[in-house]
Structure 1
Amino acid sequence: MKLVRWMTVVTLLAAPLGAATGAAAANESPARGSAYAVQSNGSVAAQDWQGNTDTEGENEGGSGGETVADGSGADGGGSALDGTNPDGVNPDTFTTDELLMRTDSAEMVLNGLAFQSVQPLVDKDGVLYAPLKTLAASYGYKIGYNKTTKESTAVLGNKELRFKSGSAVAVSNGEKVMGAAPAYTLKGSLMVPVATWAMLTGSVLHDADGEVRLQWTTRPIAAFTVSPKEIFAGQTMVDYRDRASHPRGLPIINEEWTGRESIFLFPGEYTITRRVQDVYGIWSEPYSVTIKVLQPNMPPVADFTTDKSVYRIGEPIVYTDRSTDDGNDIRKRTWKGKEPAFFEPGEKTITLQVEDGGGLKSEKSVTVYITDEVMYTREEFGLRFTPVGEKYAISGGAVLDIPTVPYTFRSQKAQMVRSNSPETWVEEGIAYEDRLKGEVRFLFHNLNQIGRPVKMYLIATNPNRTSAKVGIKAFGMGGPIKYVSTSGRLSTARYLESLAADAEPVWTSLKPGESKVIMNDLNKVPIKPGQVFSAYGDVVTDKEIQFRIVVLDPSKDPLTEMDTLKIMPRDGLHVRGTFYDADRELVITEPLGYEPKRIVLGDRKMDTYLYGLDSTTGRPEHNLGNFGVLYRMKVEVAPNTVVALNARGGHYTGAFLINGQVVKVTNDSILRNANEAAVLYRTGPFAETLDIVFTLASGSNLPVTMMFLPIS
């Protein structure tokens, strides 16, 4: 195949602000009926319709009236094209874009295709204006607006143009350029002088008999990224990600790099530059990225000590981590064999491994010796030293030998809706509905097995003839997540935190007959198949409101769909209904902690279950487990007493609010069985009064026992 070398017409260069000749030339109006461009020296060159350019009487370059640039041009045009042209390809057809406009007409023609502009081409005081939006879209620029500077922006690759209504000064990649005339606003559209746009984009501008023709060369964009963020001299393998593109979708066939290295041997600042070439031989403007190469990363130094080298059984060990890193960037610490105390005699080796942000590691081991003398048993140690929110091992059978504390309770007329049947969703629909007034607590706990993501909505409808208000108070949710116990713990802890904050309700007004989605945190994230979602939310109303809990595909509008949905059938195992007297104050008259005592919760004997009604069926309902009930109790606790929770029905996790502080059960785990206890509180050398608020966590097993154990 014969290859032909060819060049194209490039005539426009931006004139920086402050170049007197360029500024003056930009504001002069060449005679109508000519083509004109701003030259690199700022002078105006007239050009006839065949493209013959004459500057100060001299005709530079090419035969046949063709002006050839020397490759020093910039900004989307203005550089010579050094490439090959396949046989039969017309460079004017494949390398030059053209926009035709006519004065006072909004119909414009881009590369032979007519379209309607947002505004017409306007002749204002002898200057031709076109909407920035139309010009930018024709060239492939993306439009934006900077509210701070009140500038409109046009961005293509690494080129940014800025215009401001009322100003003749434009900004090209941070450099101020004097335009032909001030930009102005017409019916909400920013109008810019066509000559200014041509100058900034390196376009050929023809103007004759009310018709304007812009011609320019569309170039590929040589974008790329460099990673990782931190590059260390002589160590880091640098990754270059190709982000090159072509506004017209043409293939990229060639590239040139300067400054590119796989590994930079010395620290310092480096600029990496790339050009790319498209299938028709057109080269992009240079695209540069500057990186900072850091001093070589040295490995961290793992170091720790113990306060002694010989310990008794059950004696606390104090570890002091003295690890260091040259960049103070230790990201990970991994301990092996580290225990707060050991309960078997012999040598024990503890190892610490540290890793820095560069992936370099270091390790140190220390060996201590444990004698056969006993300081504390495992249970005694756990009682004394386990941090609040953590767990320790106990004898589950021995817990039953601890005397129980008799208590009574006072119920408050609080309403509670428990939406837990069906616990597993298998279809869209209405999970529950009821009409309620005043304060209502909602408990949601469900698993999605519909086979696709869904969202849950709480919809409030005002059935009254006058306006009503609905307020959202405390709220906490867990999930969506695949672990049922985690969702229960998170929702309980977050609800108690919100309850302790005691914020004012967030109100929503409802007109007569109006419906709105409330408690919008419920539907922020779709619940995927196999995921569990738990939540508590408090609502208050000034009138009777109809509440509906809707489960629906995220693409559907719950407000338009709700009247077509059916009530989900109960699953026969779990609880759904409205319950009253759902706040309980446990009344305990004796001080606790002077001897081992325990309080049993959720056993249906001392802590009897609520009765309620499933409003969707009229069926009486028993609140098994009393989930959703809010408990409060105030107890006097002896000095040096541990308050601990023990699971009696299987695994348990949740949270308690004690003297205003939320304590999780546990911070990072759960109580797996009756042989574990979580520390909720530990009193000091004086007696204390504890205010305890809690609700039993969904997804856990009951009953549970709260123990008050003296530290002997």
Structure 2
Amino acid sequence: MKPLKKEWVVLLVMAMLLSFGIAPLASAAEKEAPMASGTTYVLLYIDKPDAFLNGKQVKLDAPATILKDKTFVPAKFLGDAFGMKVEWNDKTRQINMETPTHNIMIDIDNKSVWINGYWMKFDDVAAIVNGRLMIKLTWLADYMGAKYTYNNELRRVEVLHVKTPTGIYDPNRGNSNPVAKFTFAKPSYKIGEPVKYVDLSYDPDAEGIQRYEWTGKQEAFFTPGTYPITLTVSDIHGNKSETYTRNLVITNETYLSAIEYPIFMKPVGSFIKTDWSMLWGAFWELPQLPKTVSEDRSRKLLVSDSPETFTERGILYQDEVEGKGRLYADHVNGTKEKLSLAILAKNMTDKPITIKTTNKGEVWPSVYANLIGSEATVDFLMNDQINDTMTIPAHQTFIYKQMPDFYPDQGVNLFYDVETDGKVQFSFVVDREISQNSQTLPLLAFNGHVRGSFPVSEMTWKIDASSFTQPSRLVIGDGITDPFQPGYDPMRKKEVKNDGNYGVIYKIHADKPRKMAVMILPKGGVYKGPFKINGDIRLAPESGVMTAFDGMQILAKTTGKEDSLDIEFSPPAGSALPIDLIFYPLDERAE
């Protein structure tokens, strides 16, 4: 076979690429395998670009022609008209054609044609005219199943084709393929508007659809344009449908921005992914909601958090309570042995004293610092009312609470609200065996974190969330807008600060809140902890941990019809502060 000249091959390939170009997206039609078919009627005029397709005039870039007394017709035009696949494969540099019964591959470089794997001479089948592929009419009619007549007087070719519809029932397996189909609830959508997909798929055998495979499907789109959405479904036998495609039009009008959409549309508990650009631009320095702060000084708070990781046995913290108190501890076993943590209660008076426990937050020992802080706080915020009592004879020491043994690197976190009718010395001790004699262990040195007794154990913030119109925030635990509570460490005999306000309960109250979303943004670092919102416990996050790098979580949404919004919170041990509570105004677009 005589090889083609290199220059001719290059020009030919360029011409073929143009003739098999990709149609603009806007012209892409919605595709569905038809159940029924009709007649396609084509009129071609020899050596004239004018043609008619089903009565409509069209212009051809490659008109029909006669070569060596044989009529050749444009392959791509007729293939498209008859619904046959005719496409250029750039990798193999070949043309692929598919008819209902034949797979045809045309190799222009090597002047070969392969039909269902059998070779034919190129010149017997095709020709290249002005860079366009032309197919011999008689050959094309045979393989496409078309009928044709030639009018010599008018130099016109008439081609009739009836495409045989492909059924979906397979008698060999006694089962039909399912049918994929869907539509949209309306013809077009705005930027950021939730798209409603209406599923119309079905299984002719009434066995149901087992699997849906979508491409391009999104809840909403944030750039205008036309988007092809495809669906393929499978039945319980694994039989697949033909792929169905429908084009979705997104207009230039905006419904919700990409930032607004998840806040308005996602339910409570949802996590909103962010990046630094979004955080800095939209959430980092929001205005703060004004608040009125009141402090509850009726309950003394004892905080034992230093040494947080202890390396020897001894007394971690010790102070007295007379009346209401809150006992808070957070410690990690930094020794190489199994130890026990306990709280000893010593009666400092000459008469019996009763200790009543009214609330508690406990957690089993764990190496997961964020877990123990979150779980103990959940337990405490649940506020399951208890009424445990213990009576201690005069000048006696009892074990008030003893935690399960914890092993090296395990930690514990605990809260106890107590009421005493006399002066009681509470000692947080760690020892191999806990007894009254543990009261004589050495006092362990402070090495950072928090240790001391604080007069404030609860704060109430009253805010006006009824009429604000722009995203706003409350900052918790920054030490500036939310000052750290002052106290005193009797073991060191010095004034101290409760950095982080650990053990303090925050109660945030708003009357008649507007329609809004409340979100948490953990700005200090790794965070895991609960909130109690109108009586319901909300975990942030619902699993794992979160940071500002990860994003925000929706804690609550109000409808604008509630009498009040009440949020209870306590900084969880193991989590970093500050955090921002973001109050984001919503309107009728919100779900």
* TM-score clears 0.5: yes
Partner of 2:438, secondary structure, is helix
Whole-angstrom distance in 2 between the partners of 1:455 and 1:337 = 57
- Which AA in structure 1 matches 2:324? E
Q: Displacement, 1:319?
A: 11
The answer for the alignment partner of 1:508 in structure 2 is: 390
Partner of 2:577, secondary structure, is coil
Partner of 2:439, secondary structure, is helix
Which of 449, 458, 471 matches 1:574?
449
Contact 2:519 2:554 in 1 (8 A): yes
Identity of aligned residues (%): 23
Which of 413, 416, 421 matches 1:537?
416
Per the alignment, do residues 566 and 384 of structure 1 end up closer, same or farther by CA in structure 2, a change over 3 Å counting?
A: same
Which of 252, 258, 271 matches 1:391?
271
Whole-angstrom distance in 1 between the partners of 2:239 and 2:491 = 63
Per the alignment, do residues 350 and 586 of structure 1 end up closer, same or farther by CA in structure 2, a change over 3 Å counting?
A: farther
Partner of 2:365, secondary structure, is strand
> What pairs up with 1:200-599 in 2 under 5 angstroms?
315=194, 341=219, 371=248, 373=250, 376-394=256-274, 395-397=278-280, 398-413=282-297, 414-497=299-382, 499=383, 501=384, 503-520=385-402, 523=403, 525-553=404-432, 556=433, 558-571=434-447, 573-589=448-464, 591-599=466-474
Which of 536, 543, 547 matches 1:668?
543
Per the alignment, do residues 496 and 652 of structure 1 end up closer, same or farther by CA in structure 2, a change over 3 Å counting?
A: same
Whole-angstrom distance in 1 between the partners of 2:494 and 2:461 = 29
Partner of 1:495, secondary structure, is helix
Whole-angstrom distance in 1 between the partners of 2:406 and 2:245 = 50
The answer for the alignment partner of 1:188 in structure 2 is: none
Partner of 2:259, secondary structure, is helix
The answer for the alignment partner of 1:203 in structure 2 is: none
Contact 1:433 1:616 in 2 (8 A): yes
Q: Displacement, 1:674?
A: 5.4
Which of 480, 483, 497 matches 1:608?
483
Whole-angstrom distance in 1 between the partners of 2:562 and 2:502 = 31
Q: Displacement, 1:704?
A: 1.2
Per the alignment, do residues 649 and 642 of structure 1 end up closer, same or farther by CA in structure 2, a change over 3 Å counting?
A: same
* 1:704 maps to 2:576: no
Whole-angstrom distance in 2 between the partners of 1:363 and 1:626 = 61
Partner of 2:379, secondary structure, is helix
- After superposition, the C-alpha distances for 1:487-537 in whole angstroms (9 at most, x for unaligned) are 22212112101x2x3x242111111122222245xx1x3222222322222
Per the alignment, do residues 473 and 372 of structure 1 end up closer, same or farther by CA in structure 2, a change over 3 Å counting?
A: farther
Partner of 1:481, secondary structure, is coil
User: TM-score, normalized by length of structure 2?
Assistant: 0.57
- Which AA in structure 2 matches 1:341? E
Which of 491, 495, 517 matches 1:642?
517
Whole-angstrom distance in 1 between the partners of 2:229 and 2:369 = 38
Whole-angstrom distance in 2 between the partners of 1:368 and 1:455 = 66
Whole-angstrom distance in 2 between the partners of 1:561 and 1:351 = 74
Q: Displacement, 1:307?
A: 8.4
Contact 2:194 2:220 in 1 (8 A): yes
Whole-angstrom distance in 1 between the partners of 2:228 and 2:467 = 41
Which of 530, 533, 536 matches 1:655?
530
Whole-angstrom distance in 2 between the partners of 1:337 and 1:381 = 21
Which of 501, 504, 522 matches 1:626?
501
Structure 2's unaligned 5+ residue stretches are: 1-177, 200-210
User: TM-score, normalized by length of structure 1?
Assistant: 0.48
- After superposition, the C-alpha distances for 1:439-461 in whole angstroms (9 at most, x for unaligned) are 11122222222122222111111
Q: Displacement, 1:690?
A: 0.8
Contact 1:657 1:693 in 2 (8 A): yes
Whole-angstrom distance in 1 between the partners of 2:286 and 2:336 = 48
Per the alignment, do residues 640 and 547 of structure 1 end up closer, same or farther by CA in structure 2, a change over 3 Å counting?
A: same
The answer for the alignment partner of 2:37 in structure 1 is: none
- After superposition, the C-alpha distances for 1:670-708 in whole angstroms (9 at most, x for unaligned) are 332156222121112525411222111121111111111
Whole-angstrom distance in 2 between the partners of 1:367 and 1:430 = 72
Whole-angstrom distance in 1 between the partners of 2:233 and 2:411 = 37
Whole-angstrom distance in 2 between the partners of 1:532 and 1:315 = 46
Q: Displacement, 1:476?
A: 1.6
Whole-angstrom distance in 2 between the partners of 1:363 and 1:459 = 70
Whole-angstrom distance in 1 between the partners of 2:397 and 2:245 = 69
- Which AA in structure 1 matches 2:288? T
Contact 1:351 1:363 in 2 (8 A): no
Per the alignment, do residues 415 and 550 of structure 1 end up closer, same or farther by CA in structure 2, a change over 3 Å counting?
A: same
- Which AA in structure 2 matches 1:410? S
- After superposition, the C-alpha distances for 1:229-277 in whole angstroms (9 at most, x for unaligned) are xxxxxxxxxxxxxxxxxxxxxxxxxxxxxxxxxxxxxxxxxxxxxxxxx
- Which AA in structure 2 matches 1:391? F
Q: Displacement, 1:581?
A: 2.1
Whole-angstrom distance in 1 between the partners of 2:468 and 2:557 = 10
Structure 1's unaligned 5+ residue stretches are: 1-302, 321-332, 354-360
Whole-angstrom distance in 2 between the partners of 1:350 and 1:566 = 72
- Which AA in structure 2 matches 1:568? L
Whole-angstrom distance in 2 between the partners of 1:611 and 1:437 = 19
- After superposition, the C-alpha distances for 1:1-24 in whole angstroms (9 at most, x for unaligned) are xxxxxxxxxxxxxxxxxxxxxxxx
Partner of 1:608, secondary structure, is coil
Contact 2:512 2:560 in 1 (8 A): no
Per the alignment, do residues 344 and 402 of structure 1 end up closer, same or farther by CA in structure 2, a change over 3 Å counting?
A: closer
Contact 1:307 1:319 in 2 (8 A): yes
Contact 1:406 1:588 in 2 (8 A): yes
Whole-angstrom distance in 1 between the partners of 2:240 and 2:365 = 41
Q: Which of 1 and 2 has higher RCO (CA within 8 Å, sep 6+)?
A: 2
Contact 2:181 2:231 in 1 (8 A): no
Contact 2:310 2:335 in 1 (8 A): yes
- Which AA in structure 1 matches 2:348? P
* Number of residue pairs aligned between Structure 1 and Structure 2: 382
- After superposition, the C-alpha distances for 1:281-332 in whole angstroms (9 at most, x for unaligned) are xxxxxxxxxxxxxxxxxxxxxx9x9986799666367899xxxxxxxxxxxx
Whole-angstrom distance in 2 between the partners of 1:532 and 1:548 = 18
